[in-house]
């Protein structure tokens, strides 16, 4: 009886994730209240814009400081909020990391590069303050999905956004299905990033020089939202410049499923959690 009930609940969750975003997020976040750790919510990292972040701290010996993962969620630069991705915070924290999920301003309230500047402010705050939350301030990783991966990639490659001391603390970047090298086609996205003369400033490939920390690029082969050339162009540019990059493709995984694979519902779809955790651990002592 239990197995049949569990199977029914799992299938229902899969349907909700694919058919209804808000309901799917609710299902994905169902285990969050049972997280064995501490969640510090709504910490202001930018007094001027009043943007906030959440911190997920796993239960460990109080004297132990852990590597820090700063995760930027996706939403087409127009929607989403940090609480929707609590499942990402708890999942990575359970792997032994302090996880930070910031909010950032979005269109139509702002246009590029305001949301990237918000990301920079969040990373700067984490670098200065994460020691108060048992994180290693000199072992930071950036990560993100979709437009969040785009924001994080610009923070990694474009030195104008972060201070030198913060840049040196970043040990790697892991991007999930990020649009790193696209040219806007939708009318609202043209407004977000325009005029066209500014497009190179929002493409990560413009700024790669090979000095970036190690980079992991993850992509689902069934992605119909972000084209694969985004990953390939960035990968080739990093390789041409002598940088460190890994690229992994997952079969039968789409744009939503790759982030869904970090939830309890779709974990079986792809080893996203394992691949991220391994990448962060391998580079924690670099």
Gap between the Cα atoms of 119 and 43, Å rounded: 14
Q: How many CA atoms lie within 13 A of 68 on its CB side?
A: 28
Nearest-10 crossing angle of helices 114-129, 147-157: 70
pLDDT at 11: 38
pLDDT digits (tens, 9 = 90+) for 57-88: 999 756 789 999 999 999 999 999 999 999 99
What does the pLDDT read at residue 7? 40
- With both helix axes pointing from N to C terminus, report the angle between 86-93 and 272-282 in degrees, rounded to the nearest 10: 50
By DSSP bridging, strand 135-145 and strand 170-176 are parallel
What residue ranges do the domains of the chain occupy?
25-282
Q: Which H helix or E strand runs over 231?
A: helix 229-240
Amino acid 15: pLDDT:
40
pLDDT number for residue 257: 94
**Predicted pLDDT of residue 16:** 40
pLDDT computed for residue 23 by the predictor? 74
3-state secondary structure (DSSP) of residue 33: helix
Per-residue pLDDT of the chain (286 residues; tens, 9 = 90+): 334 434 433 434 444 444 346 777 888 999 999 999 999 999 999 999 899 999 999 997 567 899 999 999 999 999 999 999 999 999 999 999 999 999 999 999 999 999 999 999 999 999 999 999 999 999 999 999 999 999 999 999 999 999 999 999 999 999 999 999 999 999 999 999 999 999 999 999 999 999 999 999 999 999 999 999 999 999 999 999 999 999 999 999 999 999 999 999 889 999 999 999 999 999 997 5
The 10 Å Cβ neighbour count of residue 228 is 14
| pLDDT of res. 61 | 56
> What pLDDT sits at residue 271?
98
CATH class of 25-282: alpha beta
């Amino acid at each position: 009886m239990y197995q049949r009930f569990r199977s029914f609940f799992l299938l229902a969750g899969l349907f909700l994730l694919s058919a209804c975003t808000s309901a799917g997020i609710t299902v994905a976040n169902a285990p969050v209240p049972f997280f064995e750790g501490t969640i510090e919510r709504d910490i202001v990292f930018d007094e001027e814009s009043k943007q906030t972040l959440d911190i997920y701290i796993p239960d460990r010996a109080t004297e132990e400081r852990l590597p820090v993962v700063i995760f930027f969620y996706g939403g087409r630069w127009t929607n989403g909020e940090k609480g929707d991705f609590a499942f990402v915070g708890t999942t990575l924290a359970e792997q032994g990391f302090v996880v930070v999920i910031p909010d950032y301003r979005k269109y139509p309230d702002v246009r590029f590069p305001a949301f990237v500047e918000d990301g920079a402010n969040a990373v700067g705050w984490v670098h200065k303050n994460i020691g108060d939350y048992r994180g290693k301030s000199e072992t930071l990783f950036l990560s993100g999905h979709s437009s969040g991966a785009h924001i994080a990639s610009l923070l990694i490659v474009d030195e104008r956004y972060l201070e030198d001391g913060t840049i040196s603390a970043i040990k790697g970047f892991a991007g999930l299905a990020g649009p790193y090298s696209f040219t806007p086609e939708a009318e609202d996205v043209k407004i977000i990033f325009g005029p066209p003369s500014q497009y190179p400033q929002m493409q990560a490939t413009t700024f790669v020089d090979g000095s970036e920390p190690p980079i992991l690029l993850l992509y689902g082969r069934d992605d119909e939202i972000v084209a694969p050339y985004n990953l390939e162009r960035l990968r080739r540019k990093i390789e041409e410049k002598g940088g460190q990059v890994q690229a992994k493709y997952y079969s039968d995984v789409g744009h939503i499923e790759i982030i869904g694979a970090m939830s309890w519902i779709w974990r079986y779809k792809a080893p996203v959690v394992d691949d991220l955790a391994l990448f962060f651990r391998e580079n924690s002592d670099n």
